[in-house]
Chain A
Amino acid sequence: MTNNMFRKLGGIYASLVCALTLSPVWVLASEAGMSAPVPPAGDTAWWVWPVVLLVVTFFMGIVAVLGGVGGGVLYVPIISGFFPFHLDFVRGTGLLVALSGALAAGPGLLKMNMASLRLAIPVALIASTMAIVGAMVGLALPTNIVQILLGATILGIVVIMFTAKKSAIPEVKQADPLSSALRICGIYHEASSGQDINWCVHRTPLGLATFIIIGFMAGMFGLGAGWANVPVLNLMMGAPLKISVATSKFLLSITDTSAAWIYLNKGCVIPMMVVPSLIGIMLGSFVGVRILKVAKPTFIRWMVIAILGFAGIKALTKGLGIELF
């Protein structure tokens, strides 16, 4: 089962990389395509867009919690697709949105020993380095190319969310030599069963290599990378689901930090966008946690997939200069 999922995941990654690099949309791409996005602010009062941003990110925060995704992956495609802000600023803000969520959750997860520092440190070293490279490449490429790649990536994420399964406690017959040498293992207390679960990981070299791609994409598009971290940690490396989710969340505080500095230093941070976005997402997350108790997770997950699919198509068509909707 796990091997099957691992193969499927590998196929998805390969397809995604091919889609990003070989897509014929490059031929159609032109900067002119970017001249027909959302109309500029015009005579709109200065406070209107920040207030709309606050309201939208509030709902985004609710949906993100209920759908089990990070804020960044919703923020970047939706705000870049439907708001007048340029993609450069949206990506910078998206990283800070994902970063603040990770900073808020990280300390608690580390103290509870759900997030593993031993697992995170080697992964973060690779992912954060590549996030810097991704941010530099993303800022050097023409906007429409980044927008097209963003659209393709978001649609790839939809495919991953659609197909990837999860394994609560994957079977790891034997830890690989690298993870044994680094002593990447641990024990966590499973409250639902009252048991202490011993865990270790395998396929560490392959897992670490995958974080080269994940880190690069996180930096390039300003996305948090929880959508990719969790399947790799859980299905590929065999970490228990709870450890994978918690370590992934904590990991974003490191990966997104490195890329955020590149965007910050390049001038891609406008406080009037950042602060309402952070407040909106945080308030929405608080409300989302409360709604989570009564919400139907399956319906919410389908809703998130639909929203991401819509936003991905919008990003793709916007990059191509096509006015679809």
Chain B
Amino acid sequence: MSSKATEEQLLYANILEKGMLVGLLLMFITFALYVFRIMPAAIPLNEIAGYWSQPVHEYLVEINNNFLRWDHLPTGWSWIKLIGKGDFINFIPIAILSGVTIICYLAIVPGLFRRGDKAYAIMALAEAAILTLAASGLLAVGH
């Protein structure tokens, strides 16, 4: 055993670092596009403050009724349809920051199997599956 990090740990760290940097950089860019009105927002900047004090379900109903006028509420991955809007484009870096861990886990699985570390390989696969399930939107419930 050594005091150095293992191969899998370094691989995980490198992917996490890249994902974090890309996500943060994109967050600054997309927020600038939004706040400086370079891209038009789905919910006008001067109106958003009227909605954020409500519970999420009421907030979604009202922004849908007043601005989006969809036949369903804008939950799950439906924000992708709105990435042309200044506010919703900000969900791209947020999704990257929230999703990079799944890639990290999937990346270390082959190495773990190669070294015969089956228990950790299976746990890593299970974790990736759980995070993917959470990300899928299938588990979203409401008040």
Which residues in A have some Cβ–Cβ distance to B below 8 Å? 37-38, 40-41, 44-47, 49, 84-86, 88-89, 96, 99-100, 103-104, 106-108, 110-113, 117-118, 121-122, 124-125, 128-129, 132, 136, 139-140, 142-143, 181-182, 185-189, 196, 198, 253-254, 257-262, 264-275, 278
Contacts and interface: CB of A to CB of B under 8 A. Distances in A.
Given A125-B123, A258-B134, A260-B98, 13 more contacts: A41-B49, A84-B52, A86-B55, A89-B56, A100-B97, A103-B23, A110-B12, A117-B8, A118-B120, A129-B130, A257-B134, A265-B135, A274-B94
B6 to A, nearest CB: 7
Contacts of B124: 121
B53 interface: yes
Contact of A261 (B4, B23, B120, B134): B134
B13 A107 contact: yes
B33 to A, nearest CB: 11
Contact of B60 (A45, A124, A267): A267
B140 to A, nearest CB: 4
B82 to A, nearest CB: 12
Nearest to B95: A264
B87 A271 contact: yes
Contacts of B139: 132, 136, 262, 265
B66 interface: no
B123 A96 contact: no
Contacts of A121: 120, 123-124, 127
Nearest to B31: A275
Contacts of A258: 130-131, 134
Contacts of B94: 96, 264, 269, 271, 274
Interface of B: 1-6, 8-10, 12-14, 16-17, 19-20, 23-24, 27, 30-31, 34-35, 45-50, 52-56, 59-60, 73-77, 87, 90-91, 94-95, 97-102, 108, 119-120, 123-124, 126-127, 130-131, 133-135, 137, 139-143
A106 B54 contact: no
B contact face: mostly helix, strand, loop, or mixed: helix
A265 B142 CA distance: 11
A187 B95 CA distance: 35
B3 A189 contact: yes
What's the dominant secondary structure at chain A's contact region?
helix
Contacts of A185: 1
A271 B91 contact: yes
B54 A110 contact: no
A95 B54 CA distance: 19
A36 to B, nearest CB: 12
B127 A266 contact: no
A46 B141 contact: no
B73 A267 contact: yes
Contact of B50 (A40, A271, A274): A40
Nearest to A92: B56
Nearest to B5: A113
Contact of A111 (B5, B59, B74, B102): B5
B75 to A, nearest CB: 5
Nearest to A105: B20
A265 B76 contact: yes
Nearest to A40: B53
Contact of B119 (A111, A113, A182, A275): A182
Contact of A110 (B3, B9, B49): B9
Contacts of B19: 103
Given A100-B24, A257-B131, A266 B52 contact: no
B13 A266 contact: no
Contacts of B23: 103
Give me the 4 closest cross-chain CB pairs, A-B, nearest first.
A271-B90, A41-B49, A107-B17, A110-B13
A275 B56 contact: no
Contacts of B46: 45-46
B134 to A, nearest CB: 4
A189 B47 CA distance: 54
B10 A266 contact: no
A265 B140 contact: yes
Contact of A107 (B14, B52, B59): B14
